[in-house]
Amino acid sequence: MKSTKSKVNACYHLSYEGKFLDHCGVVGIVADSQVSPLIYQSLRALQHRGQEAAGIAVFSEAVACSKGMGLVHDVFNEETLNALKGKAGIGHVRYSTTGSSSLQNAQPVVVSSSAGDLALGHNGDIANTKALREDLKEKGWAFITTTDSEVIIRLLANEIVATDDIIRSMKNLMRMLVGSYSFTLLANNRLFAARDPLGIKPLCIGKLDNGYVVASESVAFDAIGAEFIRDVMPGEVLELSKAGIRSSHYPKPKHQAHCMFEWVYFARADSVMDGKLVYDVRWRIGKCLATDYPVEADLVIPVPDSGRTHALGYSAASGIPYTEGLIKNRYVWRTFIMPKQLVRKQDVRLKMNPIRYIVEGKRLVLVDDSIVRGNTMERIVAILKDAGAREVHVRIGCPPIIAPCYFGIDMKTRDQFIACERTIPDIAKTLGADSLGYLNFERLWECIGLNKNDLCLGCLTGEYPVEIPGEKLRFQKRIEGFQ
């Protein structure tokens, strides 16, 4: 398969299970007590959104920031948290898609300006970073990191110095940015948050007994006993204080473009996102797969953990018993770059082992959320057949992935998608599956419960909600054109 469109040559990194890696998770808390322990717990609940680095910034007399490489509980301990004193703060977990994986690129990004200390936590990808960075460089700015987040905070610092009005500065910034972003901002002791005008990345608001919290997913609120209030609206800019929330809006777009993958795979099943419980969406997807792709089989088994809820839905609708036929080794940590195919194959076997006693002689429905490159699924089918499965029928909880993501999901080239320019029977043959069924488009938005025009489907259609050089634009000419 040759890419005809994408000129980007970079490889993308997948998780151990052959899944996309999300970019980041953000949190911001303001309260009348120390916030760093609460930020720490929230970040642990958001750990699935980024495992490379974690950081917390709080304001006391100045912004103090601590960050490190690794999981949240490896980066912070009682001593480091006690040193972060302040009643307003932000936190971040990171997986790198722009900028390399290094401590320097970990977030929050902190800058000092004549307007005071600023700390930013960003989830998303800014498509026009290069042009914005060049522009700032021409104006004499030097950059410490290679991330788009530093470009954002430097642009914002410029605006705040020029306008002396943080909300206005954030709106001005949003006019310059093309892409996806949810961010939390600590400006001295004040906490702000914003979500991109298309709502590509999630962000929601919770209430504490003594303050407020914003986070990428509602599971962060559950972890700290906060009450979910609502999602941040696309294009909404917020200031959160102990007294309440001040909201302001960027001009409202005609359409939204929520990332459909949040419901299909990225978000935790126990999160509520844009009004939809992720678990329910996945269960409905499984049910639709059973209706649309019925098959005579003995057992429904999930690819753990990503296909579990979809498989439960499939089982409930088909009446075929659900069971665990593959056991995941939770103690093998992933390596980010697995250069050789052979190593990848061995890794799959190390990560997932079939229960021979259960699968031997059985006709299986194997359910997962998505297929990216296909190597992992191919290996899993082979593992099950080696263990004696008579038939393996693969059911996938979203349409085929055929195009890159430019909005913070680590896949930038078409070349390696198994579904790119191939038919379903051809893909099934490559996987070694006895049959293959992908969720169709109509079912996808039906299961999510949103209008198709309010979802980003870029990686499924190759049509994007904002202008990406060399790619097809889905609706409007430019983001500034929304009214």
- Taking the C-alpha atoms of residue 169 and residue 263, their distance in angstroms, rounded to an integer, is 32
- Nearest distance from C-beta of residue 71 to ligand SF4, angstroms: 24
- Shortest distance (Å) from residue 373 CB to ligand SF4: 15
Which residue, 174 or 409, has its beta carbon nearer to ligand SF4? Answer: 409
Q: What are the residues whose beta carbons fall under 8 Å from the beta carbon of 45, sequence distance 6 or more?
A: 217, 219, 220, 222, 223, 268
Partnered with residue 224 across adjacent β-strands are: none
Cα 13 to Cα 97: distance, rounded to the nearest angstrom: 9
For residues 197 and 454, the answer to whether their CB atoms sit within 8 Å is no
Residues 259 and 239: their CA atoms lie apart, in Å, by 25
Q: Is 11 annotated in the active site?
A: no
Per CB under 6 A, 259 contacts ligand SF4: yes
Does residue 59 bind ligand SF4 (CB under 6 A)? no
Give phi and psi for 382, each to the nearest 5. -65, -40
Residue among 445, 95, 407, 165 at smallest CA distance from 107: 95
Q: How far is the CB of 403 from ligand SF4 (least distance, A)?
A: 7
Environment class of 225 (CB within 10 Å of its CB; exposed 0-12, middle 13-18, buried 19+): exposed
Site string for ligand SF4, 182-201 (x = CB under 6 A): ------------------x-
Of the listed 24, 65, 204, 456, which one is catalytic? 24
Span near ligand SF4 by CB under 6 A; candidates 133-141, 255-263, 331-339, 419-427: 255-263
Site stretch for ligand SF4 (CB under 6 A), options 158-166, 190-198, 202-210, 254-262 = 254-262
Proportion of the chain in helix, strand, coil states, percent, rounded to 5? 30, 25, 40
Give 361 or 469: the residue with its C-beta nearer to ligand SF4.
469
Residue type, 216: S
Q: Which is nearer to ligand SF4, 219 or 457 (CB)?
A: 457
Nearest distance, CB of residue 261 and ligand SF4, angstroms = 4
Name which of 29 and 409 has its Cβ closer to ligand SF4.
Answer: 409
Return the number of the residue (23 or 284) whose C-beta is nearest ligand SF4.
Answer: 23
Per-residue interface string for the shown chain with ligand SF4, residues 445-474, x marking contact by CB under 6 A? -----------xxxx---------------
Which part of the chain contacts ligand SF4 (CB under 6 A), choosing from 238-246, 259-267, 269-277, 438-446? Answer: 259-267
Residue with tokens 């750990």: 47
Whether the CB-CB separation of 396 and 437 falls below 8 Å is answered with yes
The terminus-to-terminus CA distance of the chain in angstroms comes to: 40
Of the residues 16, 40, 212, 261, which one makes contact with ligand SF4 according to CB under 6 A: 261
What's the rounded Cα separation, in Å, for the pair 245 and 263? 27
For residues 381 to 420, the per-residue mask of contacts with ligand SF4, x marking binding by CB under 6 A and - elsewhere, is: ------------------------x-x-x-----------
Smaller CB separation from ligand SF4, 11 or 136: 11
The label of the residue with tokens 């522009």 reads: 135
Give SS3 for 72.
helix
Question: Which window, 91-99, 253-261, 270-278, 332-340, contacts ligand SF4 (CB under 6 A)?
Answer: 253-261
Q: How many residues bind ligand SF4 (CB under 6 A)?
A: 11
Place of tokens 């042009």: 131
* Residue range at the interface with ligand SF4 (CB under 6 A); choices 29-37, 257-265, 290-298, 438-446: 257-265
Which residues is 435 bridged to in the sheet?
Answer: 393
**Residue of 260, 288, 326, 448 that binds ligand SF4 (CB under 6 A):** 260
> CA nearest 387: which of 279, 263, 301?
301
Give the x/- contact pattern for ligand SF4 in 209-248, rule: CB under 6 A. Answer: ----------------------------------------
- Looking at the Cβ atoms of 281 and 457, the one nearer to ligand SF4 is 457
Which residues does residue 66 pair with via DSSP β-bridges, in sequence order?
A: 56
| Counts for the chain of helices (H) and strands (E), in that order | 16, 25
List of residues contacting ligand SF4 (CB under 6 A): 200, 259-261, 405, 407, 409, 456-459
Active-site residue set: 24
